[in-house]
Structure 1
Amino acid sequence: MHFKYRVANFIVDTIVFFVFSIIILLIFRGVIEESMLKNILIACYFLYYFTTEFFVGKTIGKILTKTKVVQKDSLEKPKFYQILIRTLLRGLPFYFITYFISEKGLHDHLSQTILIKS
């Protein structure tokens, strides 16, 4: 999948998560300690990617760019463990550097998934 789609997906998903984070912070202001908010937002970040890609095959960014995640070999919906691997690898520091080596990210390679036009 062309790099421009991945960049667009990243930008849209980051904006969506940023708005979601502000809403969470406003709702739980004064209820949850500041030290816990960071952990909650990190969990929400992974939950966003996991749930949207597992249940729909797309994040909001992918919906807007008309792309989706599929299994590399069969082009079918990814299995639970494949989405879990994709999601966890997004948490690695500097995982985006792998895009400079190949068109696919580390999370695509190790989970045996690809991004295609839907």
Structure 2
Amino acid sequence: METTTLEAAYETQPVLVRAGQGRRLVNLLVDYVAIFSMFFVLGIIMALANQTELLDKLVDGFMGQVTFIVFSLAYYTVMEGLFGRTFGKMLTRTRVVTDEGLHPSFGTILKRSIWRFIPFDALSFLGNAYGWHDSRSETMVVRG
């Protein structure tokens, strides 16, 4: 029996399997360790440069929160924009793709990264394994 080109193409399409909540939680924890490690390295550099007053301002209170958001935004945007994965996703063998299964553009990744900081985004995972930063940016985290 002979298959048509369309049938052959259909058979070779990869199946996208969404990452479950367990993998997503590991991703989050590993990524937070990576982000806090960047903070630690920044602290060492600033201490060596004798910039302890500036360092105190960057890690305390409101400025500390802003600094965390800026580092996180940079981390997620650069890692997912260039590689489609963060260190957490590398560990769990998952990656970010568009809803069509393609590598997202930097604009899409930036949108996804910004949505992470909307209050209650973490609570959007309670009903299912897909957070607002996935649905609003039309992306998903898949195995592979």
Could you state the TM-score of these two structures normalised by the residue count of structure 1? 0.90
- Give ranges in structure 2 of 5+ residues lacking alignment: 1-18
Aligned partner of 2:93 in structure 1 is 66
Letter in 1 for 2:85: K
Give the alignment's Cα RMSD to 1 decimal: 1.5
Over the matched positions of the two proteins, sequence identity in percent amounts to 27
**What secondary structure does 2:126 align onto?**
helix
Distance 1:86 1:93 in 2: 14
**What secondary structure does 2:84 align onto?**
coil
Question: Are residue 22 (structure 1) and residue 45 (structure 2) matched?
Answer: no
Which runs of at least 4 in structure 1 moved beyond 6 Å after TM superposition? none
The count of residues paired between Structure 1 and Structure 2 equals: 117
Letter in 2 for 1:28: M
Give the deviation of 1:113 after TM superposition: 0.3
Which of 42, 45, 62 lines up with 2:72 in the alignment? 45
Distance 2:106 2:41 in 1: 29
Aligned partner of 1:113 in structure 2 is 139
Aligned partner of 2:15 in structure 1 is none
Which of 97, 120, 137 lines up with 1:94 in the alignment? 120
**What secondary structure does 2:29 align onto?**
helix
**What secondary structure does 1:78 align onto?**
coil
Give the deviation of 1:33 after TM superposition: 4.9
Question: Are residue 81 (structure 1) and residue 103 (structure 2) matched?
Answer: no
